[in-house]
Structure 1
Amino acid sequence: MTTSPRTVVVTGASKGIGAATVRQLVGRGRRVIAGVRREQDAAALKAGFGERVVPVHLDVTDPDTVAAAVATVRDTVGADGLAGLVNNAGIAVAAPVEFLPPAELRRQLDVNVVGQVAVTQALLPLLRDGHGRIVNVGSIGDRIVSPMLGAYTASKFALAALTDTLRLELAPWGIGVVLVEPGAVATPIWQTATASADQLLATLPPTVDKLYGAQIAAAHASARRNDAAGIPPEEVAKVIAHALTTRRPRTRYLVGRDARIASAVARLPPRVRDRLVLSQSR
């Protein structure tokens, strides 16, 4: 029997849900290997948690950093293997689909889908060794779409499908695969997404504002509301930690009152659902 702490990898660990998850897991006695993209974030984690957190440079879209991070994980856990993987890294690209540059759609899918799969594939041997578990951080946007967020919700629908597929494929080894679906969370993603959207929209033809100005304004207002009134990231982190450590986790966890409401709306007949969503987009 090992006496070393069980180890979990968390991607996108520098802020928001990822950082809150690191705090939760350390508080439950886990050692965390935290994927970050900036040296200052790595330094902050070391200063805050000492040896309980091992920061690694990890860009989920860069095969070289993925390989280097996996080598660090392997050296850290040894024969004990890995207790868990939290795929949390993600971005939100916002633009009307009619004018969405294909390169931006590829970037959205590369980070939120392909990158998650690449990290999972690379760590699966260690998860087998450690009888570990995978938690993917999705969104209520994997059940219901919103105008201007087609690329983002497409990535979350895809991640949900891959989560369900992995759960079936990995069942023979007892590797649980769980999807956590938060609603609005008060994290920097809203400010980052809004700033990125403004930069992207500035490069698009003037007709975008003429055709979609009202919907773009509504999307901006929604992002501001989410930033101001979203649930704290700690609420999502508690659910992630529970999904990793409970004996029999659910396959999916909705987090937040708005996520539960949106889940109910998603089950309505499509035309009724469309009217409700559009009423919030004007």
Structure 2
Amino acid sequence: MADKVVLITGTSSGIGLAVAAAAVKAGYKTVATLRNLDKAGPVRETGADVRSLDVTDSASIEDCLAGVVADYGRLDAVVNNAGVSVVGTVEHLPMADIRRAMEVNFFGVVAVTKAAMPLLRASKGRVVTVTSVGGAVGQPFNEAYCAAKFAVEGFMQSLEPVAATVGVGVSVIEPGAVTTEFVNNARIDVPAAIEAAGAYAPALEAYINRTRGAYSTAQTADQVAEVVLQALAAYPIVFRWQTSDFARSFVADSLSDLDGSIVAGLTSKWVR
């Protein structure tokens, strides 16, 4: 991998940080990007080339990619990882929060992929995007987040055969619960959220209790990073990757659920 250049978004912590470390270890020339360089300490320790990139800012994307080309002369892969968590139901979520979920989790992915495609065509490279089991299974109190992840999966599944005609591989990574800062970054004041939930308070409390339990047995970011590195190197290219047995079972239930009853029966238990 010594000549391969990979750019990763959202590397300040969690999965992105783990992927950057794994890519460096595997021998990639690793460009680790994040919006706020004040949080770059941990990723600098991996030995990656750390650069600023805000996936919601087209000028930032173009500047970053131009710098990569100037310094390396090529780009072989993009790992779309940057994302935000939004927890709440539509009646109470501000539209600004819903739009931000789409802007970062969907439009940011689209913008980075669009800007990188000419470079990836030249290198016959890869687009690997970290989505979620929430891109295949709608989950209570995650309407905005799952909507964005469903959109990403639809976008990438549609792009995959087209990109393949010009030699670019496309894959998505679907983790389940992962022990990262992503959950903490949702910044939920649980007592206040439940108090403000009104008629939804019992359902929200049940959901939060269930989710705490799920994250107590979650897989690590390093385990997810291993799958990302497999996807980067796989031949033949595989489109959809789950990162655990739980994720495989969960996604399989949804993909085979023609009338929606399987998922509804499962997730309705989370809010009761």
Same fold? TM cut 0.5: yes
- Provide, for residues 130-174 of structure 1, a one-character-per-residue CA deviation record: whole Å limited to 9, x for no partner: 211000111111111111001111111000001111112212211
Structure with greater helix percent: 1
- Provide, for residues 100-127 of structure 1, a one-character-per-residue CA deviation record: whole Å limited to 9, x for no partner: 2211111000000001111111111111
User: 2:220: which partner in 1?
Assistant: 232
Residues 61 and 115, structure 1, Cα contact 8 Å, conserved in 2: yes
Query: What is the distance in 2 between the residues matched to 1:152 and 1:87?
Result: 16
Q: CA RMSD in A?
A: 2.1
Query: What is the distance in 2 between the residues matched to 1:273 and 1:246?
Result: 31
Q: Please tell me whether residue 131 in structure 1 is matched to residue 124 in structure 2.
A: yes
Q: Please tell me whether residue 274 in structure 1 is matched to residue 264 in structure 2.
A: yes
Matched length: 270
Instruction: For 1:126-205, list aligned pairs within 5 A.
Output: 126-193=119-186, 195-196=187-188, 201=193
**How far does residue 7 in structure 1 lie from its aligned partner after superposition?**
0.6
Query: What is the distance in 1 between the residues matched to 2:238 and 2:153?
Result: 14
Letter in 1 for 2:70: D
Residues 207 and 270, structure 2, Cα contact 8 Å, conserved in 1: no
Query: What is the distance in 1 between the residues matched to 2:65 and 2:98?
Result: 27
Residues 86 and 134, structure 1, Cα contact 8 Å, conserved in 2: yes
Instruction: For 1:1-282, list aligned pairs within 5 A.
Output: 5-49=3-47, 53-78=48-73, 81-193=74-186, 195-196=187-188, 201=193, 209-266=197-254, 267-268=256-257, 269-282=259-272
Query: What is the distance in 2 between the residues matched to 1:36 and 1:115?
Result: 12
Q: TM-score under structure 2 normalisation?
A: 0.92
Query: What is the distance in 2 between the residues matched to 1:198 and 1:72?
Result: 42
SS of 2:91 mapped into structure 1: helix
Letter in 1 for 2:132: S
Letter in 2 for 1:77: Y
Residues 92 and 152, structure 1, Cα contact 8 Å, conserved in 2: yes
- Label 1:229 to 1:121 Cα distance change in 2 as closer, same or farther (>3 A): same
Letter in 2 for 1:236: V
- Label 1:41 to 1:34 Cα distance change in 2 as closer, same or farther (>3 A): same
Letter in 1 for 2:8: V
- Label 1:127 to 1:236 Cα distance change in 2 as closer, same or farther (>3 A): same
Query: What is the distance in 1 between the residues matched to 2:95 and 2:30?
Result: 36
**How far does residue 198 in structure 1 lie from its aligned partner after superposition?**
5.2
- Provide, for residues 3-59 of structure 1, a one-character-per-residue CA deviation record: whole Å limited to 9, x for no partner: 96311000001111111111111111101111112223334433441xxx2111111
Query: What is the distance in 1 between the residues matched to 2:78 and 2:192?
Result: 32
Query: What is the distance in 2 between the residues matched to 1:201 and 1:64?
Result: 36
Query: What is the distance in 2 between the residues matched to 1:246 and 1:276?
Result: 33
Letter in 1 for 2:105: N
More deviation in 259-268 or 102-111? 259-268
Q: TM-score under structure 1 normalisation?
A: 0.89
The percent of aligned pairs where both chains have the same amino acid is 32
- Provide, for residues 182-211 of structure 1, a one-character-per-residue CA deviation record: whole Å limited to 9, x for no partner: 111111111222x24759949xxx7x5231
**How far does residue 214 in structure 1 lie from its aligned partner after superposition?**
1.5
**How far does residue 238 in structure 1 lie from its aligned partner after superposition?**
0.7
Query: What is the distance in 2 between the residues matched to 1:150 and 1:240?
Result: 26
- Label 1:264 to 1:55 Cα distance change in 2 as closer, same or farther (>3 A): same
**How far does residue 74 in structure 1 lie from its aligned partner after superposition?**
1.3
Unaligned runs of 5+ in 2: none
SS of 1:162 mapped into structure 2: helix
Unaligned runs of 5+ in 1: none
